[in-house]
Amino acid sequence: MSLIEIEGLRKVYRSPFLRREVVGLEQLDLSVEKNEIFGFLGPNGAGKSTTLKILTGIIQATAGSAKIAGQPVGTPAAREILGFMPEFPTFHDFLRAEEFLTFYGELSGMRREALPTRIDEVLSLVGLPGVQDRPLRGFSKGMLQRIGLAQAVLHDPDLVILDEPMSGLDPVGRRDVRRLMEGLKAQGKTVLFSSHVLNDVEEVADRITVVREGRNVLSGTIESLLSGQRFELVVRQQPASGAWTKTAEGYHCYCEHEEAAQLAVRALSEAGISIVRCQRERRSLEELFFLDVSEEDSP
Amino acid sequence: MIRAVLAIAQLTLREALRKRVFVNLAVFAALMVGVSLLMTGLTIGQHQRVIHSVSFTVLAVVGNLLAVFLGAGLIAHEVERRTLYTVVSRPIHRWVFVVGRYLGLASVLAINTLIGGLLVKVVLMISNYPAFEHFMVSLCLIYAEMLIVLSISVVFSAFSTPTLSATFSFCFWVIGRLSVELQELAVLAKNDGLAAAMNAAYSVLPNLGRLDPMNLLIHNELPDGGHVGMLFLYALLYIGVMLAAACWTFERRDLK
C-alpha cells in the first residue's frame, strides 16, 4: 500500500455570491511510496498547492479520493503521521521560538516533559540553535522558513509535506533544506515537496510528477525521466564522415539510438580513432520541464 | 483533545497579554475616577448609586465591545493571515480550535471584568461608600452578557471577514439589548404575520436586556435564586447553541 494514494482528485473553487467557478484541480492521480522523496512540480496555478492543501485538511476535494496511510484525508487520523509546512508560512509572531514549538508539540499530543529536549534538537537541525527565547516577530524571512520546518518535523512524523520549502532561502539555506530532506529519508521518513527550483528537485528527489492545469503530465523516477534516447559520442580526432562538432574535449556527435551508437563505436575503432566517451545523453530537469511546456503550448 | 483545547486557550490569553488588550482597563480606571469625582459634586444623596450605575454601564460597554471586536477576529484573522494552516494540519478536529479560542477569550474577558470590578470597589472605598449588596451577581450578569456576545461574534467569524463579523455582532448586541421591545411591539402589531415575525425574532435573538444589572441596582433586591439561575442557564444554553453552530460551520469551511 502506498503512503499517499490519490485517485481522480478534483477541486472546484466556488465563489458563493458571484457564482463563479475556478477549477483548481481537474483530475489528479498520484501515489507516493514509503521512504522516498517525492517532488511535485508544475507552473504557477497548476494545482500543486491545492493538492497539498487537500492532503493536509485545509480544503476539501470536490470529487475523487485521497488517502494517507489508508485513512481518508480530512480526518484527524490521516494527519496523525503528518508534518506540514505551507508556502510563505506565517505564524503567531507574538510567541517566542520555544513557546511556538511547545504549542505545536502540544497540538500533536507530544509529552510535555519530552518537549524541551526535542525543541533544542529540531532547532539545531534547522540551523537555528540558541533562538529559544527570541520572539518570532524579529525573525528574518529565512529564519521563519527554518522555524516552519522545525514545527513540521517536531513530532517526528512519518510523512513530511513541504510546500515550496526552498523559497526565500539563500543557497546555504537551500542546501540545508536538501540535507534535511535527505536526513529524513535516511531515518525512513517520506517527504513530499513542491518546488519551482528545478535544480534542487533534480538533486534530491527520487520520483517526481509534473502537473499542469490540474492534471499529471509527467511522472516517474528522476533517472528514467532524465535519461534520453540519444547517445553522446566524444572522440579525440575528427572522423572523416559524420556531423561532428568541435568542443574543448575533442569532437562530439549524437546517435539517435543505442544500435546506431554501437555501429559508430565499431567504425571508429576500426578507423583507429580513440573514443573519449560514449554514453546515454542525460537531460537536466529544467530541459525536460521546458520541453514539456513547449510541447503543451504548441498547437 | 482537552490538552489541545487548553493549548489554544493559553495561546489566546498570551496573545491578549502581549498585544496589550488590557490597556482598556486604564481607560476604565480613568473614567471611573473622573466620574466619581464629578458626580460627588453634582448629585445629592445618590453618589453611591451613580458610581455603581456609571461603572457597571462602562464595564458592560467596554467588555461587550471587546467581545465584539476580539471575537470577530478570533477565527477570521487567523484565516486571513493563514496562521491556521499549520494548526488545522495537526491531528485535531477543527472544533478544538473554535472552543480553545473561545475559552481563551472568555478568560481574557473574565480577567477584564474582575479587575474592572476591583477598580470600582477601590473607587467606592476611596469615596467612603459601601459596595452595592448584589455587586458580585451584577458582575456575573455583565460577564454572562459578554460571553453571549462573544459566542455570536465567533459564529460570524467562522464564515465571514473580521470587518463583517464585527459589524454583524455589534448589530446583534444592540438588537439583543432591545429584544424585549420586540415582544411588546408584537402585542401592539395589528398584522398577525408581523406579530408572528416579531415573536420569532424575539425567540431567536439573545435577550440581553434581562442580564442588565441595572434591574438589580434600581430595585436593590435580588429576585429569587431560581430566577437568577434561569438567567445563567439561558446564557449557557445560548452560548452552547452558538458555539455548536460556529464549530459546524468551521468544520466545513475551505481555508483559502
A58 touches chain B (CB under 8 A): yes
**Local confidence band at B117 (pLDDT 50, 70, 90 cut-offs):** confident
Strands A207-212 and A37-41, by their bridges, are: parallel
Is A129 in contact with A86 (CB distance < 8 Å)? no
pLDDT digits (tens, 9 = 90+) for A241-253: 777 888 888 888 8
Is B238 in contact with B148 (CB distance < 8 Å)? yes
Q: Say yes or no to pLDDT of A14 above 70.
A: yes
pLDDT digits (tens, 9 = 90+) for A223-273: 777 777 788 888 888 887 777 888 888 888 888 788 888 888 888 888 888
What is the distance between the alpha carbons of residues B241 and B256, in angstroms, rounded to a whole number? Answer: 27
Comparing CA positions, the residue from A86, A30, A27 lying closest to residue A56 is: A86
B16: its cell numbers: 491578549
Residues of chain B in contact with residue A77, where contact means CB-CB under 8 angstroms, are: 91
Nearest chain A residue (CA) to B160: A16
Comparing CA positions, the residue from B2, B12, B3 lying closest to residue B101 is: B12
Chain A nearest CA to B10, separation (Å):
9
Can you give the pTM of this predicted structure?
0.82
Residues 236-265 of A with CB under 8 A from B: none
| Chain A interface mutation, best of B85, B161, B253, highest count of A Cβ atoms under 10 Å | B85
The mean predicted confidence, pLDDT, of chain A is 86
Distances (CA, A) of A70 to A64, A79, A185, A191, B236: 15, 11, 21, 17, 40
Of A6-15, A184-193, B170-179, B186-195, which one has max mean pLDDT?
A184-193
Percent of chain A whose predicted confidence (pLDDT) is above 90: 33
What is the distance between the alpha carbons of residues B91 and A159, in angstroms, rounded to a whole number? Answer: 13
Residue A282 phi/psi, 5-degree rounding, is -120, 120
Q: Say yes or no to pLDDT of A299 above 50.
A: no
Chain A nearest CA to B56, separation (Å):
32
- What SS3 class is residue A195? coil
What is the distance between the alpha carbons of residues B37 and B127, in angstroms, rounded to a whole number? Answer: 9
pLDDT digits (tens, 9 = 90+) for B147-163: 999 999 999 998 888 89
B228 sits in the region (left: phi over 0; alpha: psi -120 to 50; else beta) called alpha
A63 sits in the region (left: phi over 0; alpha: psi -120 to 50; else beta) called beta
Is B173 in contact with B208 (CB distance < 8 Å)? yes
| Chain A interface mutation, best of B2, B6, B14, B89, highest count of A Cβ atoms under 10 Å | B89
| Chain B interface mutation, best of A52, A104, A107, A192, highest count of B Cβ atoms under 10 Å | A107
Q: Say yes or no to pLDDT of B45 above 70.
A: no
- What SS3 class is residue A253? strand
